[in-house]
Amino acid sequence: MAKSNHKGPASRAVVIGLGRFGSSLALELVERGSEVLALDNRPLLVQQFSDAVTHAAVADSTDPEVLRQLDVPEFQRAVVAIGDDLEASILTTSVLSDFEIPHIWAKAVSRQHGRILERVGAHRVVLPEHDMGERVAHLVTGRMLDYIEFEDDYALVKTRAPGAAVGHSLGETKVRSKYGVTVVGIKRPNEGFTYATQDTVLERGDILIVSGRSHDVERFADLT
């Protein structure tokens, strides 16, 4: 079992469910310096990851007493990464909510599952397969090099400078008033990203970081 780093509460998390999503998340959190308690009801999986996380235990996460014995109510952050047992996923989330854990993330396998998880106490629902599929679809069908969508229909995209804007400053192109987007950063070949200003003149081959409403940034990225 890995040794504890005695980190503060904010850097401690409990990850429940060690499937592909849960195990990847647990390992990434450890890599970033967090203390991680990893739980699963499958002994072989717990044994497999016991040396890679701070603490690992075989546990029935739907049983409040079992979680109390493992000090789960003392954690500020919890992730329910159970994907193959909807009942266990929902019950576990409900138990964590009863513990009044301030930050509960839960993996959902469908939007309906996600709505139920929110109703029983999840503060943030993650749909890994759906979110990744949506992101890749944007990249396949458009000119975007990367796409991240946030809440409230807001997105950040990486795209190439449209040809019509090349040779003009951002102020001249009136990107914000015409398209409702903001060019946040710019990258030239063999250079790093820098902040963009109204005086920045776009050149052919420039890579732009653009923010705005999802529809607006998609429309801007589709310009030729």
Neighbours of 190 (CB within 10 A): 5
Cα–Cα nearest to 23, from 46, 54, 55: 46
* pLDDT score recorded for residue 218: 86
pLDDT higher than 60, residue 6: no
The class that CATH gives domain 9-126 is alpha beta
Give bridge partners of residue 41 from the DSSP assignment. Answer: none
pLDDT higher than 60, residue 120: yes
Average of per-residue pLDDT across 160-173: 90
Tell me how far CA of residue 142 lies from CA of 35, 135, 170, 221, in angstroms: 40, 11, 22, 7
**pLDDT confidence bin for 87, thresholds 50/70/90:** very high
Average of per-residue pLDDT across 97-125: 95
pLDDT higher than 80, residue 166: yes
Please, are residues 46 and 58 in contact by the beta-carbon 8 Å criterion?
yes
CATH 3.20.20.140 fits 136-221, yes or no: no
Q: What is the spatial order of strands in the sheet that 124-126 belongs to?
A: 55-58, 35-40, 12-16, 77-80, 103-107, 124-126
| Span(s) in the chain for CATH 3.40.50.720 | 9-126
152 compared with 182, residue with greater pLDDT: 182
| Span(s) in the chain for CATH 3.30.70.1450 | 136-221
Give the SS3 label for residue 4.
Answer: coil
pLDDT digits (tens, 9 = 90+) for 33-83: 999 999 999 999 999 999 999 999 999 999 999 999 999 999 999 999 998
* pLDDT score recorded for residue 35: 95
Judge if pTM exceeds 0.95. no
* pLDDT score recorded for residue 149: 82
**pLDDT confidence bin for 8, thresholds 50/70/90:** very low
Average of per-residue pLDDT across 176-187: 92
Lowest mean pLDDT among 74-83, 123-132, 204-213: 123-132
